[in-house]
Structure 1
């Protein structure tokens, strides 16, 4: 029990600084991908900030692993955290947890379950779409036979993939780009299912409440 409380205290102390570091990581990666004519000194600075942020993420993972006392079971029970250490570009997805933490600290009431699902899904969609667009554009730009000539093309591809529309006018041609595409397709289906299921459940609840409040005839 003491290990659990120490882990919770650590997470509460570090969630906001690490959320800021994750946004810095995403911003620095975006600069490196989009600003190709950036002077060498600035590119080195961005790379150093990326490395420093990743060291923070890895150190946080190691500390929480140690405090949990779960050993290898920690990896299974914290799948997103484990993946993020290997793919730090996904770290900003943890920012969605900070919103509710800030609400708790300010003493504000929590959103309803349905509002939280839609809010988290919306924030996750924006962050995931932007991150994947950057990663795919970094790999597709200049590849033989590519349809992704600008970052706008990459954003269009990410939007159509996340929404499961898939027009097919812009598709990745590199192996790395296709691996990212498969992951984004799976996330898009999961997010769409979560939002649709939550909205449907909310509608059923509303209609059921209206039926209960309707006076019976007779």
Structure 2
């Protein structure tokens, strides 16, 4: 082999060896990078085997409404003439035709009295005088008590005389806040005047 040929072959061999060395280095770098790369060890999410029920919202508490007073229906009646009202004074008959225990209250307002004449003597009170003015009294009725003919109301020590201008009202005693009235005697449709029996009649209906 001549020197010229050796001078041509040696650089070629050295170049090939250099390329192989560079390729080997790149291979080692890729392998090293592959080894140092983090591995994603996360497992794919598995669907739940059993479905989880969504929480059921708690039922909304509705406040209990407070019952409002319920007035009774008013039935029209023929008004009394002034002449009849002037003499319409008598007892009171009450009929409870409802299913409620009732309390009937009566208020007799203070009558407007004229000043006594000079020298006139004041009348002495008697057992038949009306109850003390502006002092309400009441009577309690069981459900449907006196529903057929009604009951005449009385006072312990005196006779009850109902007259125009007196006020009557009835309340249910079961907490329902139902009421009847108020009735102004001689002005409201009830109570009605029975001229033959000389009594006022109040019928409480559902």
TM-score, scaled to structure 2: 0.22
Greater Cα radius of gyration, structure 1 or 2: 2
Kindly indicate which of the two structures has a greater share of residues assigned to strand: 2
TM-score by length of 1: 0.21
Greater per-residue helix proportion: 1
With CA pairs under 8 Å and 6+ residues apart, which has the higher RCO, 1 or 2?
2
